[in-house]
Amino acid sequence: EDSQRKRKTWSAYEAPQVQEARWQHSFQSQLSDALLNGEIWVAYQPQLDLKTNRIVGAEALARWSHPKLGNISPTEFISQAEKHQRIERLTLYVLNEAIGRAAEMLNHIPGFTMSVNMSALLLHRHDLAGQIRALLTAHGVAAQHLTIEITETAEIEDSDAVRYTLAMLREMGCRLSIDDYGTGQSNLDYLTRFEADEIKIDKRFVDNILDSKRNREVVTSTIEMAHRLGATTVAEGVEDERTLTILSDLGCDVIQGYLIGKPMRFDNFMIAVTSAQPSSGRATG
Ligand code: C2E
Ligand code: MG
Ligand code: MG
Ligand code: MG
């Protein structure tokens, strides 16, 4: 009798762990289905070289168009995927798509680079570099056309496995980028731990560059430091011409943002980039 009552109580109130387990289960199967159904796709956002005024690359950004829930933001589903061990599959999906598209872009823009976001959680996988090499080979893309953006959703472990992956990627010839520079806890630490080829200046600093002298100083010294370390700089989230002008004056190498183009489906990206390229080098979303 006692146990019966208990069972009733439990069924009326679902413990958070049970709810979490349910969500986890449904999320895992939904994400796996989403990959198979094509609900997950990759958007491409153009990157403009400020010296040449030409599109020189793109960032691949994951998108989930859920049939019931609508568009789910990557900030939401990436963190869920990281929590529920689905990030590897998702990342390999994005890598495969993006490298395939890089091969197409290289027919139009010889030095094109494709940037793909990499969760820090995956860097300790000993097979990651090998998997990337296999994808590059399969698509016939040289490693220097792939930039791995290391995003700090999780702190980068300072382990042998991580050092091995980063060293392997560099040895292969992939470019390494530190994403959202300045917003994490240990970005300066990263600079000393591996040789980054690129630093992406977070939108937070870029946004205030017009109004805040302090922000301008921070951006100026970040660009200078990057150059001293042999790295290029990419400014994120540039939305207006005045910001572009300041960044150009400060010696920033590349910009990315709505001013140049929003993240878009590849077909639109190709049209925007190839039609804009010969004249102005400016693409619109
Ligand atoms: P992120 O790597 O810093 O990507 C830049 C974000 O800024 C993108 O948001 C992009 O759409 C947005 N953005 C670009 N230009 C502008 C602008 O001018 N104005 C404004 N307001 N926003 C702009 P998105 O696509 O929502 O992605 C959010 C984050 O999700 C990314 O930030 C990245 O950290 C993560 N993410 C996206 N795709 C992947 C992926 O395939 N793997 C992993 N691990 N993370 C991903
Ligand atoms: Mg990024
Ligand atoms: Mg970023
Ligand atoms: Mg960002």
CA–centroid distance, 151 to ligand 4, in Å, is: 9
Residues in contact with 168: Cβ distance below 8 Å, sequence separation at least 6, in sequence order: 129, 130
Q: How far apart are the first and last CA of the chain?
A: 66
**Structure-token pair, residue 273:** 């980039």
Q: Whose atoms come closest to the Cα of 240: which ligand?
A: 1
Neighbours of ion ligand 2 (CB under 5 A): 117, 149, 179
* Residue from 274, 270, 215 nearest 44 by CA: 270
> Which atom of ligand 1 is least distant from the CA of 87?
44
* 117, 125, 206, 262, best to mutate for ligand 1 pocket (most atoms within 8 Å of CB): 117
Per-residue pLDDT of the chain (285 residues; tens, 9 = 90+): 454 444 445 555 667 777 666 666 677 778 888 888 899 999 999 999 999 999 999 999 999 999 888 999 999 899 888 887 889 999 999 999 999 999 999 999 999 999 999 998 899 888 999 999 999 999 999 999 999 999 876 677 778 899 999 999 999 999 999 999 988 766 788 888 889 999 999 999 999 899 999 999 999 999 999 999 999 999 999 999 999 999 999 999 999 999 999 999 999 999 999 886 554 444 444
196, 234 contact by CB (below 8 A): no
From 246, 271, 275, 263, select the one nearest 50 (Cα to Cα).
246
pTM of the predicted model as reported, rounded to 2 decimal places: 0.90
Q: Is the CB of 72 under 6 A from ligand 1?
A: no
Taking alpha carbons only, the member of 206, 240, 272, 256 closest to residue 60 is 256
**Burial 171-182, CB ≥16 within 10 A → b, else e:** ebebbbbbbbbb
Ligand 3 centroid distance, CA of 209 (Å): 17
